[in-house]
Amino acid sequence: MSYWRSAGITYLRYSAIAARQVRESVKKELRRDPIVDTLTIKRSDKKQAVAK
């Protein structure tokens, strides 16, 4: 049986805990700024004309 299941938590919760622990374990000077690393996606509702 999986450790996370025997602990009574979901896999999603287990992976969130593990990710947080990994982020906190990285030395402060090596951490990346999450604001700088964000990705912006632009969506356009305009359709391109198709040549026939």
Q: Is residue 52 part of a domain?
A: no
- Name the domain count of the chain: 1
Q: Is residue 28 part of a domain?
A: yes
Q: Is residue 49 part of a domain?
A: no
pTM recorded for the entire structure: 0.50
| Host domain of residue 35 | 1-41
Give, in degrees to the nearest 5, the angle at Cα 45 between 39 and 34.
Answer: 10
Q: Is residue 30 part of a domain?
A: yes
Looking at residue 52, its pLDDT comes to 53
Looking at residue 12, its pLDDT comes to 92
Looking at residue 2, its pLDDT comes to 79
8: left (phi over 0), alpha (psi -120 to 50) or beta: left
Q: Is residue 25 part of a domain?
A: yes
Q: Is residue 48 part of a domain?
A: no
- For the stretch 3-49, pLDDT in tens is 878 888 999 999 999 988 988 888 877 777 666 656 666 776 666 65
Q: Is residue 46 part of a domain?
A: no
Eight-class DSSP state of 27: -
Q: Is residue 4 part of a domain?
A: yes
